[in-house]
Chains A and B, each alone.
Chain A
Amino acid sequence: MTSRRLGIDRSPGYGVDRDAEHSFTLDGEAHTGLSGDTVASAMVAAGELPCGPSLYLGRARGIMGAGVEEPNALLHVEPRSPGHAAESMLPATTVELVDGLRASWLQGLGRLDETPDGALYDHTRVHTDVLVVGAGPAGIAAASQAAASGARTMLLDEQPAPGGSLLSSRGERIESTDAVAWARRTVDDARTAAEFTYLPRTTAVGSYDANYVVAVENRTDHLPASERPGVSRQRVWHIRAAEVILAAGAHERPLMFADDDRPGIMLAEAVRTYLNRYAALAGEQIVVATTNDSVYSLLEDLAEAGAPPVAVVDSRPEATPRAAAVLEATGVRGIFDAVVTGSDGDGDAGRLTAVTVHRLDRDDVPVGSVETLSADLLAVSGGHSPVVHLHSQRQGGIAWDDVLAAFVPSAPVARQQTVGAMAGTWSLSRALRTGAEAGRRAAEACGFRAEGADSPSDSPQTRDPLADGPRADLDYGPVRALWLIGAPDAQDPAEWSTHFVDMQRDQTVADALRAVGAGMRSVEHVKRYTSISTANDQGRTSAVNTVGLLATVLGAGHPGQVGTTTYRAPYTPVPFAALAGRRRGELFEPARITNIHSWHADHGAVFEDVGQWKRPRYYPRTGEDMETAVLRECAAARGSVGFQDVSTLGKIEIRGTDTGRLLDRIYTGVFSKLRVGRGRYGLMCTPDGMIFDDGVTLRIADDRYLMTTTTGGAATVLDWLEEWHQTEWPELDVAFTSVTEQWSTVAVVGPKSREVISRIAPELDVSNEAFGFMAFRETTLRNGVPARICRVSFSGELAFEVNVANFCGLATWELIAEAGAPFDITPYGTEAMHVLRAEKGLIIVGQDTDGTVTPQDAGMGWAVSTTEDFIGRRSHSRPDTARQDRKHLVGVLPADGRTLLPEGAQLVGAQTPITPEEGPVPMLGHVTSSYRSAALGRPFGLAMVWDGRNRIGEVVRSPVDGRLVDVELTSPVHFDPEGTRRDG
């Protein structure tokens, strides 16, 4: 295939460097392109328009656009760097060419790569005064004004270079200079301002409340491989802007006619982009079809490039002055009051060979004899659709403008402006003027003065920036929109089955007509019936055409009466990984570890996730499984002494003269009467009476308490305290401080714990008489570390908790290990702790309770005040909660003495037939906790059982692994019911 790349004499080639050639492969074949090319432009320059065939019908398709509007040319791109994953569904028109790129065409369906993606992505958050989206002429004018005022200004643009539509033009001049050079210079000038940021290759994908705009910056894909390491591949910008100016441009609409999808049928603006920006001539025998004046610039450019079109097929009844002037100057044949009604192609490859042209009557019906024009390229323009997405995402109104034949912003969004083509302003001079005005207004709204600014466009009203430009500065109108153009005899719906509306979804006018025939009137229904505009091109070339089509079919006056579907973020597809950012692996949610963590890890602990914390679950010795290790750990705690890192328990220090009163309301028990120097166990309920946290609270001083919470509940409880204090009882004198991370806490548990404590705290009288249960003492440890030691027990054993400053945790742990060595002190984890407490019938909130359990249900009525009005109390007397036969906490013992019931196992009555196929089997409750017990010499558990306290002694059954296990219901306290071990 001969090269269609044009020399500098024929094209400015704004976007490419003719001296820098890149090699790449496409479907395994070697190709070359230029630096600045996209894969699509390189292929256009190679004269190869076909891409992958269509998704469902397998029709030959070709490159149709030159940017994000491309529906056909989708690529699968192999990993660009070592450790990266391949990526699918990238429009070839957006993939910048780099040396060594390997890609293949797709048939509308992507392939996900199993290779782990090792690329780096990051997120950033910024505030700006003025955010301008789009670095076309209007956006540049706006940003330049805003930056010159001193306002912090950001200018985002999806392209590698500023200029927007100017990059597709030629010969345009602004302020006496080449327009593209003007764009570059103006942005460069603005960059000298202290507070200006220009981000190329950055697409604003979403616009949210209060001017929060999310943009994605591509940072490395365009770089040579050697320059990529150390740079994040993509960055997601989260921008909060005081003022937003949207200058996002417009997309051209194709025309719908029979076989409108062949390779060689291309948007006119894309043809112009390839011609001028990429120096690539998309065809040699060119026909242009239009509904408006925009294509006449293309005509001029093609003529100048030495490739004048064969003809222009213009739907309008006669030439506009602009059209007439261009036709005369170029000598191109104009066919007016006419449409393209069909195309012919070349075999399987399908490349366009000819188009058929008909005259139109006043009702848009093709009439008269057909004329066939040979063509290898048809450049189409069915009008232009402003890119209203970001405006619409903020609920900005849009309305149909019959003159422009477009949906344009009609109602503003607060602190946002729309300018340029996006606002329906096709004219360059007006885009520059309104852009500059918008920039000034935005700066002023932020308190900056634009006067005196030394900017190239500082006085757009007094100077026409295009005064010496050679181009006519005209709008695209009038427009004669074409929505439903059949062959002259198109009564049969089948006649419409090659009028493609949505190329990517392979949907045609026939499909849309069928939807209407089925009773559908709403564009939303038609979209869903046909799937038109739901592909990853987001219907950029199909959505408005569908609306126009529907308006015609339904006899609506104009498309505005049909309305659009909702514009949804993101504007362009965004990789999941970019949105995940750094939140992968360890940083997905950083784990919290205690000061003693390294010791646990060094000693082989297996960890458990509890809330955000990593807690040792057990410490297996060589050859031990969990069961063996846990039995050993439990035996040590009951037989001699064990120790556990309990630093993760939540700790909240509460100060103030009303602390006791507050706690009386927060806890179900009474804390105002707690003596200084002592602690008490407390339960908290939600207002509807259900247990939601528990823990021991110490009274440090008259006006000072230290509350402990569950590991997972610490943050919730702190919020809870603050909420009730601030919003219900602000008159109480209390203040809360989270001190979870200020303390390391070690539980020393077992009959020998007193001896261990006496060795580490020589100044402390640890006798039961001097230091009773639920008392605490301040002392200094043997290593000089100040400590608070409490006599609390979650195991029924004699036990102490040693609290030290967090950073002394490891040293204190090691001190205890050393002091306990003669007693073979044994570290134990959460699993042994769970066993020890369950043997005593003590609950774990969230395991034995599930948000539906009252203190009475849990058999903890003893912890509930009968006098104080704590939170949740009223709920305990509702009809359902006051019932005596609710689910109660009980103990369970598998009757065979051997079977370990799975936690979560259901319980059914001994006589209940297990016939779920005949209907639900009544259940009595479920096993909440279940362990093997060293102390009991058998498996045991806890359960919540209907009317359980009145069933103690009953044998029920539990389905386990397909068999039924007899289970005796018992008291929840399995071990030492008299509590003889507590004091040693």
Chain B
Amino acid sequence: MLLITCPHCGPRDEVEFHYGGQAHVAYPEDPQALDDAAWAHFLFYRDNPAGAFAERWQHSAGCRKWFDVVRDTVTYEFLTPEGGSR
């Protein structure tokens, strides 16, 4: 049961949150302009580091806001102690 700090609500139990995977993956400006490989990479390829990982969470059972944090995927420690951004 991770303790996740929502930037709007403060620290809360993991079960209040929904995980969103890697952060900062923008939807392509013009998907039609991408070739199949580039589109496949947008769709299916995400970073998967063992270590610091910028990721998204939604406080789905709370304020319902999405936010970004950096978390260590090995120690599970949140490296953005004051809560995430956005």
Question: Which residues of chain A have a CB within 8 Å of any CB of chain B?
Answer: 125, 208-212, 238, 240, 395, 687-688, 719, 722-723, 726-728, 869, 873-875, 877-879
- Cβ of B31 and Cβ of A727 under 8 Å apart? no
A residues within 8 A CB of B46? none
Contact partner, B39, options A125, A212, A727, A875, Cβ 8 Å = A875
Q: For residue B7, give the distance in angstroms from its CB to the closest CB of chain A.
A: 13
Contact partner, A209, options B3, B18, B36, Cβ 8 Å = B3
B34 at interface by CB-CB < 8 Å:
yes
B residues within 8 A CB of A726? 65-66, 86
In the bound complex, what is the Cα–Cα distance between A873 and B86 (angstroms)? Answer: 28
Contacts known (A728-B26, A878-B39); A873 close to B66, Cβ less than 8 A: no
- Cβ of A722 and Cβ of B66 under 8 Å apart? yes
Q: Which of B27, B65, B75 has the most CB of A within 10 A?
A: B27
Contact partner, B76, options A209, A873, A874, Cβ 8 Å = A209
A residues within 8 A CB of B31? 869, 873-874
Contacts known (A719-B60, A727-B56, A874-B32); A212 close to B3, Cβ less than 8 A: yes
B50 at interface by CB-CB < 8 Å:
no
Q: For residue B84, give the distance in angstroms from its CB to the closest CB of chain A.
A: 12
- Cβ of B1 and Cβ of A209 under 8 Å apart? yes
- Cβ of A238 and Cβ of B1 under 8 Å apart? yes
What are 28 contact pairs spanning A and B, CB under 8 A?
A: A125-B13, A208-B1, A209-B1, A209-B2, A210-B3, A211-B3, A212-B1, A212-B3, A240-B3, A240-B13, A395-B75, A687-B42, A688-B43, A719-B18, A722-B58, A722-B64, A723-B58, A726-B66, A726-B86, A727-B66, A728-B26, A728-B27, A874-B32, A874-B39, A875-B39, A877-B32, A878-B39, A878-B40
B20 at interface by CB-CB < 8 Å:
yes
Residue of B nearest to A725 (CB): B66
Question: Does more than half of chain A's interface fall in helix, strand or loop, or is it mixed?
Answer: mixed
Using a Cβ–Cβ cut-off of 8 Å, how many residues does chain B contribute to the interface with A?
28
In the bound complex, what is the Cα–Cα distance between A47 and B2 (angstroms)? Answer: 50
- Cβ of A210 and Cβ of B56 under 8 Å apart? no
Q: For residue A685, give the distance in angstroms from its CB to the closest CB of chain B.
A: 12
In the bound complex, what is the Cα–Cα distance between A722 and B20 (angstroms)? Answer: 12
Residue of A nearest to B26 (CB): A728
Count of chain A to chain B residue pairs whose CB atoms are closer than 8 Å in the complex: 54
Q: For residue A214, give the distance in angstroms from its CB to the closest CB of chain B.
A: 9
Q: For residue B38, give the distance in angstroms from its CB to the closest CB of chain A.
A: 10
Residue of A nearest to B28 (CB): A874
Question: Which residues of chain B have a CB within 8 Å of any CB of chain A?
Answer: 1-3, 13, 18, 20, 26-28, 30-32, 34, 36, 39-40, 42-44, 56, 58, 60, 64-66, 75-76, 86
- Cβ of B32 and Cβ of A873 under 8 Å apart? yes
A residues within 8 A CB of B2? 209-210
B residues within 8 A CB of A210? 1-3
B residues within 8 A CB of A687? 42-43
Top 3 nearest A-B pairs (CB, nearest first) are A210-B3, A874-B31, A726-B66
Contact partner, B36, options A125, A688, A878, Cβ 8 Å = A878
In the bound complex, what is the Cα–Cα distance between A210 and B86 (angstroms)? Answer: 23
A residues within 8 A CB of B66? 722-723, 726-727
In the bound complex, what is the Cα–Cα distance between A395 and B72 (angstroms)? Answer: 14
Q: For residue A981, give the distance in angstroms from its CB to the closest CB of chain B.
A: 40
A residues within 8 A CB of B43? 687-688, 875
Q: Apart from A212-B3, A727-B56, what 9 extra A-B contacts exist at CB < 8 Å?
A: A210-B1, A687-B42, A727-B20, A727-B66, A728-B27, A869-B31, A873-B32, A878-B40, A879-B36
A residues within 8 A CB of B3? 209-212, 240
Q: For residue B25, give the distance in angstroms from its CB to the closest CB of chain A.
A: 9
In the bound complex, what is the Cα–Cα distance between A879 and B31 (angstroms)? Answer: 15
In the bound complex, what is the Cα–Cα distance between A728 and B75 (angstroms)? Answer: 29
A residues within 8 A CB of B44? 688
Q: For residue A869, give the distance in angstroms from its CB to the closest CB of chain B.
A: 6
In the bound complex, what is the Cα–Cα distance between A240 and B36 (angstroms)? Answer: 48
- Cβ of A874 and Cβ of B58 under 8 Å apart? no
In the bound complex, what is the Cα–Cα distance between A877 and B39 (angstroms)? Answer: 11
A residues within 8 A CB of B39? 874-875, 878
Residue of B nearest to A736 (CB): B64
Residue of B nearest to A125 (CB): B13
Residue of B nearest to A874 (CB): B31
Residue of A nearest to B30 (CB): A869
Residue of A nearest to B40 (CB): A878
- Cβ of B32 and Cβ of A869 under 8 Å apart? yes
B residues within 8 A CB of A240? 3, 13
B residues within 8 A CB of A879? 36
Q: For residue B32, give the distance in angstroms from its CB to the closest CB of chain A.
A: 6
In the bound complex, what is the Cα–Cα distance between A541 and B82 (angstroms)? Answer: 44
In the bound complex, what is the Cα–Cα distance between A212 and B18 (angstroms)? Answer: 19
A residues within 8 A CB of B65? 726
A residues within 8 A CB of B86? 726
In the bound complex, what is the Cα–Cα distance between A875 and B27 (angstroms)? Answer: 13
